[in-house]
Amino acid sequence: MAATNCSLKPYNTFGIDVQAKAFDRFSNLEELSACINTYKGLELLIVGGGSNILFTKDFDGVVLKNELKGFEVLSETDTTVIVQAGAGENWHEFVLKCIDLGYAGIENMSLIPGSVGASPMQNIGAYGVEIKDVFHSLKAYHIASGEIHTFDAAACEFGYRESVFKRALKGQYVIISVAFQLSKIAAINKNYGAIESQLESMGISQPSIKDISNAVIAIRSSKLPDPKTLGNAGSFFKNPVVDQQLVDRILENHPEAPNYPAETGKRKLAAGWLIEQTGWKGKTIGTCGVHTLQALVLVNYGGSTGQQIYDLSSQIIASVKEKFGVTLEREVNIL
Ligand code: FAD
Ligand code: EPU
């Protein structure tokens, strides 16, 4: 169903009402290829669930909604299984399906909105697990040549909320399927933050992967706004990775500041804590604001423009820089 001058409001979880010059969908490779040919010359944007995008202006190009479905076991042993899902599958439904089949490894990432195909884009993660920990490979359509290329984990160059598809190969590929290596033996990962106490409050001492999923769903639902009722794109910023010396300086005045080990001797600070300390948590500016329960999440109370939300994020970056000397980086894709 192609359309011109189409509102993108239903296609982004911030609920920003901008227009795309053209909009189309594809649910198989022939349709994808036909779309690429039809709209040659126009700027191209692939969307899945639109849950990690902020539109700050009309999109002067074509938006293609990925509806590639599919679920397939590629191979299995007594203890492991490689499952492949179409990029347009809903991530959370895929997680639930794997749990039902007894395939362990992604239950900690329950309830992350969006599509399977976007999951490698920023190496999604939650509650102690990232895509890179269970990733097997992905297939992607090379826009310039129409060829299908396969990427293993090394080729994806995963980092914290990063991959090669956000950097060197940005805009060059459409991810069409992703394969994950999961385990038939549940290795329960309940070390992260509130999972253990949530399980306790549920009266569970020997959790199954379904219990872990339910605990994660309960924790997430208690502090993250549901995009169906309040426009948002999850964490608006990344947790900053900084030198130990900067952490030490912050700890002098704020010994309680949350910080965790990060790559190559660096430390990760909690952006939500930094933002809360600058007084922004729960603040509203016009029709947008900072969520009352999680300062990392910016929200659209209704009718906000993407530019207003972007401007709010710039003010927050300036406040955190001034108070702590830390530069926050936006996690959400700005368009
Ligand atoms: P979209 O927003 O549609 O797209 C994101 C980017 O990927 C865009 O640049 C788009 O062009 C590109 N893209 C999408 N699909 C493809 C494809 N098939 N091929 C090529 N490029 C593509 N993220 C986390 O990591 N952890 C969390 O815990 C988490 N919690 C969230 C909670 C809430 C309430 C919300 C709203 C968001 C949260 N997110 C989280 C962010 C978001 O859910 C993820 O980034 C998710 O993977 C985005 O999927 P999507 O299909 O909506 O991507
Ligand atoms: N904190 C505050 N105030 C706040 C928010 C958080 O002080 O308003 C403190 C918490 O008390 C805690 C620390 O910051 O000590 C970390 O908070 P939390 O466990 O809620 O996680 P987060 O670091 O804020 C990250 C991810 C989330 C992911 C959760 C759970 C990023 C940018 N965000 O949030 O991912 O779901 O951990 O693993 O890494 C997303 O990417 O969109 C996202 C929601």
Span 130-148, pLDDT tens digits: 999 999 999 999 999 999 9
Which residue from 238, 273, 278, 299 has its CB within 8 A of the most atoms of ligand 2, so it is best to mutate? 273
pLDDT higher than 80, residue 245:
yes
Has 7 been annotated as catalytic?
no
177 and 201 Cβ atoms separated by less than 8 Å: no
Q: Confirm or reject: Cβ of 276 under 6 Å from ligand 2.
A: yes
pLDDT > 90 fraction of the chain, expressed in percent and rounded? 95
Ligand 1 atom 17: the closest Cα is on which residue? 175
Residue 191 is predicted with a pLDDT of 83
Put simply, whether the predicted model's pTM sits higher than 0.85 gets the answer yes
187: CA distance to ligand 2 center in Å? Answer: 24
Residue 264 is predicted with a pLDDT of 82
Residue 186 is predicted with a pLDDT of 82
282: CA distance to ligand 1 center in Å? Answer: 24
Has 220 been annotated as catalytic?
no
Which part of the chain has CATH 3.30.43.10?
A: 3-66
Q: How far apart are CA 281 and CA 289, in angstroms?
A: 8
Bridge partners (DSSP) listed for residue 63: 23, 45
Q: pLDDT tens for residues 203-242?
A: 999 999 999 999 999 999 999 999 999 999 999 999 999 9
166 and 121 Cβ atoms separated by less than 8 Å: yes
Which part of the chain has CATH 3.30.465.10?
A: 71-183
3-class DSSP assignment, residue 194: coil
Please tell me which residue, 266 or 193, carries the higher pLDDT value: 266
270: CA distance to ligand 2 center in Å? Answer: 7
From the CA of 52, give the closest atom in ligand 2.
Answer: 42
Catalytic residue, candidates 119, 137, 235, 313: 235
pLDDT higher than 90, residue 110:
yes
Q: How far apart are CA 191 and CA 42, in angstroms?
A: 47
* Cα dihedral 310/312/316/318 (nearest 10): 80
* Cα dihedral 305/126/46/141 (nearest 10): 170
Nearest to 136 by CA among 154, 162, 163: 154
65-71, Cβ contacts within 8 angstroms, sequence gap of 24 or more = 65/11, 65/23, 65/24, 65/25, 65/26, 66/25, 66/26, 66/115, 66/117, 66/174, 67/25, 67/26, 67/27, 68/26, 68/27, 68/28, 68/29, 68/32, 68/117, 68/176, 68/177, 69/27, 70/177, 71/97
The CB density around residue 201, as the number of other CB atoms within 10 Å, is 11
Architecture of the CATH domain 231-334: Alpha-Beta Complex (3.90)
Has 200 been annotated as catalytic?
no
pLDDT higher than 90, residue 187:
no
Question: What is the β-pairing status of strands 288-290 and 297-300?
Answer: antiparallel
Q: How far apart are CA 13 and CA 67, in angstroms?
A: 17
18 and 306 Cβ atoms separated by less than 8 Å: yes
For the chain, the distance separating the N- and C-terminal CA atoms, rounded to the nearest angstrom, is: 23
171 and 44 Cβ atoms separated by less than 8 Å: yes
Identify the nearest ligand to the CA of 114 by its number: 1
pLDDT average, residue stretch 4-26: 97
Nearest to 237 by CA among 169, 131, 318, 127: 318
pLDDT higher than 90, residue 192:
no
In DSSP notation, 129-188 reads EEGGGTEEEEEEEETTT--EEEEEHHHHT-BTTB-GGGTTTTTTEEEEEEEEEEESS---
- Confidence tier at 9 by pLDDT (50, 70, 90): very high
Q: Taking all residues of the chain, what is their mean pLDDT, rounded to a whole number?
A: 97
User: What is residue 196's DSSP assignment?
Assistant: H
Torsion sign across C-alpha atoms 312, 317, 322, 324: positive
pLDDT higher than 70, residue 1:
no
pLDDT average, residue stretch 164-175: 97
Q: How far apart are CA 123 and CA 132, in angstroms?
A: 6
Bridge partners (DSSP) listed for residue 298: 290
134: CA distance to ligand 2 center in Å? Answer: 21
Which residues have CB under 6 Å of ligand 1? 13, 45-53, 66, 87, 112-115, 117-119, 121-122, 124-126, 173-175, 224, 227, 232-234, 333
pLDDT average, residue stretch 273-300: 98
pLDDT average, residue stretch 168-182: 98
pLDDT average, residue stretch 286-291: 98
**Residue 56 corresponds to which tokens in the numbers above?**
């700050």
Is domain 3-66 annotated with CATH 3.30.43.10?
Answer: yes
pLDDT > 70 fraction of the chain, expressed in percent and rounded? 100
Is domain 71-183 annotated with CATH 3.30.565.10?
Answer: no
Which part of the chain has CATH 3.90.78.10?
A: 231-334
Residue 325 is predicted with a pLDDT of 97
